[in-house]
Amino acid sequence: MGKAEEELRMTDLGKSLIQEEIEKRKAELLIKMLMQKFKKVSDEYKGKIKILPEETIELIATYIFELNSVEELEKYF
What does the pLDDT average to over 49-67? 97
Exposed / middle / buried, residue 63 (Cβ in 10 Å: 0-12, 13-18, 19+): exposed
Domain boundaries, the chain: 3-76
Asked if residue 2 has pLDDT above 80, the reply is no
Mind listing the pLDDT tens digit for each residue in 8-53? Answer: 677 888 888 899 999 999 999 999 999 999 999 999 999 999 999 9
Buried b / exposed e along 15-32 (16+ C-beta atoms within 10 A)? eeeeeeeebeebbeebbe
Please report the pLDDT score of residue 14 as a whole number: 83
Give the model's pLDDT for residue 42: 97
